[in-house]
Every structure is written in C-alpha cells, then in structure tokens.
Amino acid sequence: MNPEVTGLPEVDWHVLETLAARLEQPGVSPGSLAEAEWRCLPAAVQCLTDKEDWPALLQLRRLFRPLMARDSAGAMPVFLELSESAAVAAEKLEDWKELAGILGAYGHNLHRQGFHARAAAVFERSAQLYQDLGESFEALKNRHMTALCYRALGQRLRARQVITRVLAETGPSNPWRSNPLQVLAWLEQDRGDLHSARALLDEAATLQRHTTGAEILLAGTLPDLGEVRGLLGDPAGAVACFRESLAILAGHERLYARLEARTREKWAELAWRQGDHAHALALLDEADDLIRGHGQYPDLMWRIEMVRGFVFLRRGDWRTGWHKLRSTLAYRRALGLSTRVFAQQLLSRLVRQTGLPR
Amino acid sequence: MDHATFGTLLKLFRERGASGQGARWSLTQARFGERVEDELGLAPGTYRAQVVSKWELDQKIIPASERALLIAIIKILAEERRIKAPSEADRLLNAGGYQSLTPDEIARVFTPGATSTEPVSELEPAAEAPATPIDETRATIADVGRTSFRVSPRHWGGLGLLVLSVVLIVIGLGALGLGAVAGRAGLAIGAFVAGAIALLAAAWALWPSAEITGPRSTATAHGSVQLVADTCGDRPWPLGHQRLLLTAAFGAYFADLLEREPLYVDLAGQIDAALDGATTALAPVQRLIWALTNPRGPRVLILAGEGGLGKSTLAAKLVRCLFERNAVDLILGDSAKTQVVDPVTGAVGRLDPAFYTAEQFSARLAEQLGLPPTPPGKRGRIEQARDRFAGRRAVIVVDNLETVSAAHDLLRDLRQLVSRDVRVIATTRSVAGLERMSGVGVVHLHGLPSVAEVRTFIRWHIRAHAAGHPALARVEADLAQMPRLKRLLQRTGGSPLLIQLLISDIARQGWSVLDQLPTLYGRALLGFLYDDRWQDLNQAGDAGRCACRILGFVAAEQEAGKPVTLERLSVWTASQDLAEHQAEALRLLQERFLLMLREAERGHLSLFPSLAQFVRVRSNES
C-alpha cells in the first residue's frame, strides 16, 4: 500500500455487496437502478487505486464479474475502469492467471464496443499468458477472439487463417466449436456464399441446442441465421429465428441488452428489404434505446444508423437519410474504421445481396 | 382520473345535443330550473336561471344533505335524454363528492327504455385515445376556427345601412345626370360622400364573425374542444430500464414525478399560455400539447413561475402525455445543477449559482445520445447531435433554466437542434429576455385565480391525501363557505403549495390558523410555515424529533439522487435506534404535508425541493 495516501474514506464493502446482490435479482438490470445507487462503485475503484490496494481491487472485480461477463454492463465506464485497474493489480501481484482472465474479459468488452484493434492486442496478450501457464484451451479461446477483431478491421484473410487453425484444434464434438463455426459463417457470408454460411450456422445452432447452458450463445447465433435465411428468400424462417432469440433473451432482464439490440437491428434489415419501413424503424428505435442507457456501443450504433439511413432513403426522405449516413460515418471514424473499406463493402454486398457491411 | 367539476359536468350534460325520439333540442338554464321546481313541487322562482348558472360555475354548492334536489336534477337530465346511463349520473354526482345512485334511486330515475349501457361518447374522455396524427389535429383546430354567418341585430343594421348607401349614391348620380347646376352639384357631392360613409359602415356591420358552429353553446371558452383526454399524462410512467439514464439526467425529484400517480390538476386560469390564437378554444394544458405536437407550434416551450406553482409537475405531465400519445419516443435533457456530488465520499456540495453552463448541458446530451467518444474532424457536437436526432421524435427537458449561466447561449444551442420532431420544454423562475427569442413560447404559471379553482384544487388534495391525513375529510364540508376560501386565497396568493400546507393545518386546527398567520407572502410565508412545523415537531416528543431526523435523511438522500423507500427508511431508523418511533413520525409528517408517499405498499418517499433545501439548512445548523 502507498503509505503516503492518508485520509481517504474506507470502502464500504457491505454497500458494494448489496449492490452486486441486487443486480443478480430477477427483474433488475443495470439500467433499472438509479444513478445514485451506482456511486459507491466508482468511489471504491478510485479509493482502492489511490491506496494501491491490489488484493482489494481484485476482490472488487470478482464481486461484479458475473455482471461484467454479460454484455449489458461491460461497457459502462465504471466497469471499464475497474477492468483496467484490476489488470494493473494482477500484474503487480504477479497473478498471471488472474491477469489472463481479466484481459480476456476486458478484450470482450472492447470488442463489443468496437475498439477492435485494442481488443485484438488484449486478446493476444491473454492468449500468450494462458499459453505460458499451460492452459491451451483458454489460449485457444482468446486467439479465436482475435479473428473477430481482424475481420471487423477488414483483415478478412488474416481472420480466416486464425479461424481455420482454431477449428483444426477443436474436436467435432466439442460444444465450444459452435463459436468458431459462427465466425467462419460470417466470413463465408463476406465472401458471398450464403448457402455455406447457412450450413455453418445451422451446425453451430444445433451444437448449442444440445449443450447445457449454451442458450445465450444460441441467442447470439440465431440472429445471424435469421439474417442469412432472409437473404436466401426465407423471411418467415428468418423471423422465426429472430423471435426465438428475443424469447431467450427476454428471460434475462436486459442483462444482454447489446445482444438483444443486435437481434432487433438484423430484424430491421429484413423489414427494410421487405419494404416494411415502419416496422424497421420501430425495431431500430428499440435497439437504439437498449444500448444508449449504460455504456457506449459505437460498433452497433453505426449499424443502427446505417440501416435507418437506408430506410429513410428508400422512403424518399433524402435529408434524414443523409443525416443518418453522416452519423454512421461519424461512429466509424471514432472507432478508427475506414470509410473507404465501408464503401467497398457496401457496394460489394449490395451487388451480391449478401446484406449490409459488418 | 376525472378532474371535471360538478358544475362543469352539469353544464355539459344540460347542453348536450339530444338524440333519439322525444328529446328537446335546447334546455335553457331557466327551463331547467323550472323543471326542477316542478319535480320538487316548489314555488316558481325558487330555482331561477341565475341559480342554475351558479351551480354550473361552482359558485353555489348543493349540500350533500339536499339529496332530493340532486336526484331531481339527475331525473330531469335523464328525462331530457342528456344522461343516458346510471354510470353517467354517478360521474356527475362523484364529481361533486356526492354519493353514487342507490339501486332505488336508479329505479326511480331511469325509466325502462331510457337506460343505455353505453354512455354517449362525446362526454367520455377517451381512456385509450388513439394517437392523433398531426394532420387530424390540425383539422380539429381548423374546425374551431371555422366562420359562420348568423343574422344578428348588428347584421340587420348593416343591411339597412347598405340600402341607405345605395339610395344615397343613386341620388348623387341622379343629381349629376340633371346637370351641374349650382346646388345640384353640391347635392351630388353630398350624396356621394354620405353614401360612401354608409357603405363603409355597412361593410363593418356585415363583416363575418368567427363563431363556433354546431348546437347553440355558450361554451366558447376553453374546454369546448377536446384535443386529448383530460387524463393524458396522468398515468404513472414506470421508468424501468431507463431509470439509470433519466435519474442521471434529472435527479431523483423529476424522475420521481414521471413515475408517481397524477399530481397535477388542470385548473383554468393558472396557466397563461400566449400561444397561437387558433388554440383559444382549448383548455390550457391541451393548448400546450397542441403547441408541442403541431408543426407550427413553438420549438421551445418555457414554463415560467415562482417556486411551488407546479412547473416541474406540469413538465412531467406534458412529457407523459407526449409519450402516451406516441408523439415522442425519446426523452433527454438535464436538471441544471445547483449541487455536485463528490464521487468518492458521496457528499453533496453546493455550487455557485450559474455554475452550470451550456457546454455542460451539451456534454450531458451527447452522453445520453450515445454520441461517439470524440468528435471526429471539425464537426461540432451540435451537428452530430442533429444527425442523431434525425428520424426520432424527441423532447429535451431543461429543468431549472434560471440556474444556467447564460441561459440564452443554452437556448441558442438548443434551437439548432429543434425541429418539428424535436422540442424543448424548459422550466424556469425567470424569463428575462427569453420570450423575445424566436421560436420560443413562454407559458406563465400563476397562482389559482379564483375561489372556484381553489375549491376544486382542495377537493383534489383531499382525495389524494386523505388516506395519510384522515382529518382532511372534515374540511370538505367547509368548502361551501365562500368567505373562508376567499381568505385562504388572499393569504396564499393562490400558490398550490401554500394552499396544501395551510389546508393540512386547517384540518388539524381549524380555520382560525389563517388569522394567526403573520403578514408574510410567497416565499417568506413558505419559510415561516416550514419553520413553524420544524419547531412544532421538535416539541412533539420523541416521535416529533424522529420526524425531523427522517426529514433530514430523506432530504440528504434526495439531494444525492437516491430513491428512498420505506424499506430503506426502516433500515436507517433501525441503525439510528429510531425504529420504534418511525410509524408515529411518518404520521406526523403526512399530517403536516411534509412528506410525499407514493405507492403505499412499497412506499417511495420524497420532499418538495424547497423543503429539502430548508431541512438541509436546519440540519447544518444543528
């Protein structure tokens, strides 16, 4: 501890434990608590960091780990700060396994937000740490995540190389295999092969349906499957996938708000293609409101704005459409994503009718 | 909740368009009074038109003990097919605080064939009114402004002048035609001039006047056109998963207003909304809804008035109504801060007045919109915000605008964001210079202007708070006494908060409390009443001192933005060894109208901001 830091208030662990417990209760989501109820957490993070109380910081992170692992609260500034401070703490204490786990989770949140380059670096480091510890499967999972990041950065070839290696190291009966299958499906869709994408997503969904505790993974696969089915001319099947995904997520009280928003965004794309503009806009508004409340998800936000833009353009509202597309580019620029790549993907996908840029 | 008074409903029922066989078209006040006399076997002249008029204006209250009179009124309205179902009769009676019809009374009043199970729709507020698209709304307003032509005495005079002017002009022409002989030239000129004057006068007399068409109605003032249901905005709006966003923006008090049961009473005369003249037929709150939803309405609506008049409450009602009507789907904004919370210690510190700036507000808005972390290139935040707003229908709320440094700058920034789909509602105690800004509509809140309004308000207060303060029910019988209400109006200036505080005292101690008040008004009187209560509680034993400490706790939690439930309060009182006095302390506080309790079961507690400020000062002193 830093002996020079004095006079700081002690952390009230009872209040923090009460907050963590409350967030685990049915019907309670991060957004349903008043802002004042969260104040104890940034106060605790700042206090423990100033005191350099590394064990306490790790203890604090463990207290909120279940919430941070789900995708609603992970992007909240306080949890990002907690992750960064906890990573420093683990390094100081030379707790490499803890550090690897913290980095892996931190990488997930960075990726969900859209900071793919930073996320890739974090995943790489986590993977190396696990490798050094002899935990090859954990290392594999983190390397797998780098594929998502490279794909998002437009490095499709590199992403495919990573996924191919990951699949080679994953047995066919391994339930976790559904994750790289899903990423490979995206890459196939990028290439224009929707039938291959569908087959891979069907395989992933089947694996997840037969795996206990994989329903959230299934809820994440179904929107992709719905998107592809819609592009293949099966809108009824697509809607069924979207509905099933939302039904799964409805049982989790907005703890997976980003995932729910993503499902609605994809459903909105289908509605746009079908000319049901009012429904598309309603879905997009819902998606927007889901992810505005706590933390920022620019990566999903630009997609929502993009689809909005196309809806308005198709309705003949050129001015609003222009505003939305400008907003799309603003988010992408803030994430360091190339406008040129966006234009290329847009043209390519529209021509091949393989959906909108990802 | 139906806020119409007995008098208002009586008038509406009486003037309602009759339908069906055997109905008469008009039932004048005089004729109505005669029918009541006949029904009760009273001497002619007992209930002249003036008496009926006073009933309808709530200036003369029928005592509940005169049940026979009330039933006679109902019976006549039923016979005249103005009331068609017992439910409508009950609505009229309940509006006056009278008991509903008994089965015997129903059997007596409603003869077979006259009873309908379906109340006529035009007097029923649409509980689930479908969202009215703006175009339909405009059509409704256009109907109100439609002109009509009826032959009135003025018009007869105008016709006469027209004929005279024609005659004079013909004489003038004739005089000219007979040659320009001296005398006849003068006659011609004179005739032409007189004819011209007569023509102008005829034109003035015959100019069409705008009148509301339809059945003969004296109700040209507000209330004759229903844009939205009176109950629009009354339903509590559960914040649910938006609570974090909205409490971070507005704090606990305004967020609580959005969630609580209806607080605002739409009282004519309290709202001075000098908006588009086409809306003069609308009730004041309805006019504001029109302004916020009509493309021609002001983009920025400022609600101005002293503390305690209900600005924030009105703003909350408007926001809720807009959501109910599906006129907006996004609420953003901020309550300009006068305090700041230390993130480490949680302590609440005061800020200098006018600390809050337009830049801080913009930053808050950007956070709520989820704008990118850093503005790329040279594009400003405002441009980004405008892009985000495009395609959404939003209301931006700025609470306590008077505490914003350079409020003009803030409004100027906001005006760059507003459009027909994005509006601003701001509350403020001062409008210095703001009303001259274009696109800004200013609404002034005043105290209740008349005894009738005060009576209506007190009745509402009794219904809303009698559960926590049973003695309030005794006050209702006194509401027929005009002098007392006049005195109350005079002492309070019509301030709803002051009226509520004094009525709670009157319920406990009688009307003589009004005579014991010092010669203070407005904020000074409010401070006196708070101080008086504080001292009274401190002298009320352990329970009273516990009550003071509870006030301190709730005030501190509220200022820190934390909601206070009964459960939370119980935990706190237990920690302070005050648990045994909690129940009695809460009773003392509710009797003195010092504590708002929402949701009786779970119990959300809150204080008026002015009281919270008073308590904080007192707590610091002690």
Query: DSSP letter string over B271-324?
Result: EEE---GGGTTB-HHHHHHHHHHSTTS-SEEEEE--TTS-HHHHHHHHHHHHHH
Model confidence at B201, in pLDDT bands (50, 70, 90)? confident
Closest-CA residue of A relative to B560 is A36
Q: What is the mean pLDDT of chain A?
A: 90
Pairing of strands B330-335, B348-350: unpaired
Q: By percentage, how much of chain B surpasses pLDDT 70?
A: 77
Which two structure tokens, joined as six digits, stand for B260?
Answer: 């609580």
- Greater model confidence, A248 or B204: A248
Q: Does the pLDDT value for residue B596 go beyond 50?
A: yes
Q: What is the pLDDT of residue A277?
A: 94
- Greater model confidence, A134 or B209: A134
Q: Does the pLDDT value for residue A184 go beyond 70?
A: yes
Judging contacts by C-beta atoms under 8 Å, the chain A residues touching residue B258 are: none
Greatest mean pLDDT range, A120-129, B16-25, B555-564: A120-129
Q: Does the pLDDT value for residue B136 go beyond 80?
A: no
- Greater model confidence, A349 or A56: A56
pLDDT tens digits for A1-26? 333 444 445 788 888 998 898 887 77
- Greater model confidence, B369 or B348: B369
Q: Please, how many CA atoms are within 13 Å of residue A196, restricted to the half-sphere of its CB? A: 13
Model confidence at B19, in pLDDT bands (50, 70, 90)? very low
Closest-CA residue of A relative to B344 is A43
| pTM tops 0.80, yes or no | no
Record: contact A291-B370, CB cut-off 8 A? yes
Model confidence at B137, in pLDDT bands (50, 70, 90)? very low
Judging contacts by C-beta atoms under 8 Å, the chain B residues touching residue A288 are: 370
Phi first, then psi, for residue B578 (nearest 5°) are: -120, 5
Q: From the list B329, B376, B563, which residue is nearest A333 (CB)? A: B376
Record: contact A31-B392, CB cut-off 8 A? no
Shortest Cα distance, chain B CAs vs residue A55, angstroms: 20
Q: What is the pLDDT of residue A7?
A: 46
Strands (E) located in B300-458: 300-304, 330-335, 339-341, 348-350, 394-399, 422-428, 440-445
Record: contact A324-B561, CB cut-off 8 A? no
Q: From the list B244, B346, B557, which residue is nearest A33 (CB)? A: B244
Q: Which ranges of chain A does DSSP label H, i.e. alpha helix?
A: 13-23, 40-51, 54-69, 77-92, 96-113, 116-133, 136-152, 156-168, 178-191, 194-209, 215-231, 235-250, 257-274, 277-292, 298-314, 318-334, 339-352
Q: What is the pLDDT of residue B612?
A: 84
Q: What is the mean pLDDT of chain B?
A: 77
Q: Does the pLDDT value for residue B569 go beyond 80?
A: yes
pLDDT tens digits for B482-523? 899 999 999 998 888 899 999 999 999 999 999 988 888 888
Spatial contact of A204 and A223, defined as CB atoms under 8 Å apart: no
Lowest mean pLDDT among A25-39, A184-198, A293-307, B604-618: A25-39
- Greater model confidence, A329 or B338: A329
Q: By percentage, how much of chain A surpasses pLDDT 70?
A: 96
Record: contact B240-A37, CB cut-off 8 A? no
Record: contact B391-A320, CB cut-off 8 A? yes
Interface size between A and B, measured as CB pairs under 8 A? 117
Record: contact A320-B392, CB cut-off 8 A? no
Shortest Cα distance, chain B CAs vs residue A168, angstroms: 39
Q: From the list B242, B330, B372, which residue is nearest A298 (CB)? A: B372
User: Which stretch of DSSP H or E encloses residue B160?
Assistant: helix B153-177
Q: Does the pLDDT value for residue B380 go beyond 50?
A: yes
B317-329: average pLDDT = 89
Q: Side by side, which strands form the sheet with B440-445?
A: B271-273, B440-445, B300-304, B422-428, B394-399, B330-335
CA B432/CA B402 separation, integer angstroms: 9
Model confidence at B348, in pLDDT bands (50, 70, 90)? low
Judging contacts by C-beta atoms under 8 Å, the chain A residues touching residue B560 are: 36, 39
Q: Does the pLDDT value for residue B424 go beyond 90?
A: yes
Q: What is the pLDDT of residue B208?
A: 56
Q: What is the pLDDT of residue A350?
A: 81
- Hey, which residues 560-619 in chain B have their CB within 8 Å of chain A? 560-563
Q: Shortest CA distance to A268 belongs to which of A248, A285, A252?
A: A285
Q: Does the pLDDT value for residue A49 go beyond 80?
A: yes
Greatest mean pLDDT range, A243-257, B9-23, B532-546: B532-546
Q: What is the pLDDT of residue B593?
A: 87
Is any Cβ of chain A less than 8 angstroms from the Cβ of B382? Answer: no
- Greater model confidence, B401 or B394: B394
Is any Cβ of chain A less than 8 angstroms from the Cβ of B49? Answer: no
Interface test with A, best of B237, B242, B244 (most A CBs within 10 A): B244
Judging contacts by C-beta atoms under 8 Å, the chain A residues touching residue B372 are: 298, 330-331, 333-335
pLDDT tens digits for B166-178? 888 888 787 776 6
Shortest Cα distance, chain B CAs vs residue A26, angstroms: 13
CA angle B165, B168, B170 (to 5 degrees): 110
Judging contacts by C-beta atoms under 8 Å, the chain B residues touching residue A330 are: 371-372, 375-376, 379, 384, 387
Q: What is the pLDDT of residue B467?
A: 83
Interface test with B, best of A6, A10, A19, A35 (most B CBs within 10 A): A35
Q: By percentage, how much of chain B surpasses pLDDT 90?
A: 19
B259-287: average pLDDT = 71
Q: What is the pLDDT of residue B341?
A: 52
Model confidence at A59, in pLDDT bands (50, 70, 90)? very high
**Whole-Å CA distances, B110 to A45, B117, B236, B317, B475:** 72, 12, 37, 38, 33
Which two structure tokens, joined as six digits, stand for B556?
Answer: 């501190």
Judging contacts by C-beta atoms under 8 Å, the chain A residues touching residue B561 are: 34-36
B8-34: average pLDDT = 73
Record: contact B374-A289, CB cut-off 8 A? no
Is any Cβ of chain A less than 8 angstroms from the Cβ of B349? Answer: no
Q: Please, how many CA atoms are within 13 Å of residue B136, restricted to the half-sphere of its CB? A: 7
Q: What is the pLDDT of residue B270?
A: 80
Q: Does the pLDDT value for residue A129 go beyond 90?
A: yes
Judging contacts by C-beta atoms under 8 Å, the chain B residues touching residue A7 are: none
Which two structure tokens, joined as six digits, stand for B120?
Answer: 């006529």
Record: contact A312-B391, CB cut-off 8 A? yes
Spatial contact of B75 and B115, defined as CB atoms under 8 Å apart: no
DSSP string covering B18-35: P-STT--S---HHHHHHH
B75-86: average pLDDT = 87
Q: Is the dihedral of CA B354, B358, B360, B361 positive or negative?
A: positive
- Greater model confidence, A288 or B602: A288
Closest-CA residue of B relative to A331 is B372
Record: contact A297-B369, CB cut-off 8 A? no
B130-146: average pLDDT = 33
Record: contact A31-B241, CB cut-off 8 A? yes
- Greater model confidence, B76 or B144: B76
Shortest Cα distance, chain A CAs vs residue B348, angstroms: 12
Please, which contacts does A110-113 make with residues 24 or more away whose CB atoms are closer than 8 Å?
A: A111/A145, A111/A148, A111/A149, A111/A152, A112/A71, A112/A74, A112/A75, A112/A258, A112/A297, A112/A299, A113/A75, A113/A295, A113/A296, A113/A297, A113/A298, A113/A299
Closest-CA residue of B relative to A300 is B370
Where b means 16+ CB within 10 Å and e means fewer, B397-413 reads: bbbbbbbbbebeebbeb
A98-113: average pLDDT = 94
Model confidence at B274, in pLDDT bands (50, 70, 90)? low
B345-371: average pLDDT = 68
Is any Cβ of chain A less than 8 angstroms from the Cβ of B384? Answer: yes
Shortest Cα distance, chain A CAs vs residue B394, angstroms: 12
Model confidence at B531, in pLDDT bands (50, 70, 90)? very high
Record: contact B370-A297, CB cut-off 8 A? yes
Lowest mean pLDDT among A221-230, A271-280, B210-219, B550-559: B210-219
Q: What is the pLDDT of residue B219?
A: 35
Model confidence at A231, in pLDDT bands (50, 70, 90)? very high
Closest-CA residue of A relative to B562 is A36
How many C-beta atoms surround the C-beta of residue A130 within 10 A? 24
Is any Cβ of chain A less than 8 angstroms from the Cβ of B386? Answer: yes
